[in-house]
Amino acid sequence: MAPGFDPGRSGVHTPPVNTSLATPGYSHQAAAVAAAAEALRSGGMAIIPTETVYGLAVNAQDSAAVERMYSLIVPPELHAPLPPASSWHAPSRERVIEALGVKHPLHLRIFERLTPGPFRLMVQKPEEELAAILSKLGVKPGVIDRRNEVWVRIPDHPLAKAVLEQAGGVVIADRISAYGLGDGRALPEEIEDVKRRMGIAAVVDDGPTRLGKPSTPIHLGLDGTYEVVPGGMYDERYVRKKIERVVLFVCTGNTCRSPMAEAIARDVLAKNKPVIPTRVASAGVSAISGEVMTREAREALEEMGVDPSGHRSRPLSRDLLNEAEVIFAMTRAHGQAVADIAPSAANKVKVLDPSGQDVKDPIGGSQDEYRSTAKVLRTLVERRLRELDGERNEP
């Protein structure tokens, strides 16, 4: 086995976001960050950058500060009869998940895969639970919530994260364009005059924002569903791809075992909708592109009521390995081959049989051997797919 390859483990490595002010290009901003955090703690207003647009921020626990910020909205009628619900800008997903009691596996995955980032998550809660959450956060109704949903953003910007961490409490922010300050992608040239005129205590200037477009709102329903609101930076297709789980089956030539496993998995998933959107694929460590599944494999699947059509073999590649969240190898040697091709993918590999035993190659064998292999694969694939959702449902 190659170093790092463990047939009993799998996972996805998510690199941590570097929020240190020692990051090149940000060390000079430490004073501005500290000033903004102090302004928010003391009831003042601050302008901070995010990856999307600049935002005007205040402490949501300070009702006077919230009202002062909303009174500056342009045009003023947008402030009546109720102020717009602002998004809670939190420094980390962990803080939000704990505060809002996010438990549904799909919602947890959305937080894991999309935050920090340019998404506004609108988490629906039962009325009584929502009241308890707001009370615990020390925020009045209508500030971070609308229609029994808490609105939250977790910015993917080092300076924003630093300000939010240092400020503590619950910080809300609205795009500065709502206050007549341009399109929000960059600060107005007369920012010092704006500060004096609007009573803004601090500004963190980081030049034009990286994305310059509004965040994408996503409703997270009580039943564990989600809905992407059109008009944001990313559409539903992008969101689905980000949260989709990709399962890759690997054998030698990608004409027998791994395509059989792929077809069986697709059949199982169609009949038992998984909690997490899941896509399956297969490849071979020594495969030639474009070959069909063997006749015996097709017949074995058809006898089981599984559709084998459409398969064409493909060789294993770094792109496939990087895309996959979990990789099921037919044998330990296949797992080793994965580790050799892409050492960074080694921690995603499991031998399909949880006992660590190889799935015997039926190539060149009788039809009965293929039938036996198909039955073994069905049992193993069903178990492994149950395990994936089981891991997600563990507390």
Residues identified as active-site: 251, 257, 361
CA distance 29 to 26: 5
Which SS3 state, helix, strand or coil, does residue 122 take?
Answer: strand
CB distance 162 to 123 below 8 Å: no
Tell me the C-alpha distance between 217 and 24, whole Å: 32
Neighbouring residues of 325: CB distance < 8 A, sequence distance ≥ 6: 10, 12, 245, 246, 247, 348
Q: What is the DSSP letter of 345?
A: G
Question: What is the enclosing helix (H) or strand (E) of 244?
Answer: none
- Two tokens at 333? 């040697």
Question: Could you give the CA distance from residue 381 to residue 284 in angstroms, rounded to a whole number?
Answer: 17
- The CA distance from 35 to 67, in Å, is 21
Tokens of 319: 């792109």
Decide if 232 contacts 217 (C-beta within 8 A). Answer: yes
Cα 174 to chain centroid distance, Å, stands at 23
Query: Quick one: DSSP state of residue 235?
Result: -
Q: Are 290 and 312 in contact (CB under 8 A)?
A: yes
H or E stretch at 290:
none
| Cα torsion through 157, 163, 169, 173, rounded to 10 | -60
Q: How far is CA 58 from CA 13, 44, 47, 79, 289, in A?
A: 34, 6, 9, 16, 58
**Closest by CA position to 291, among listed 259, 320, 314:** 314
Which distant-in-sequence residues (6+ apart) come within 8 Å of 45 by Cβ? 39, 56, 57, 58, 65, 68, 69, 198, 199, 200, 201
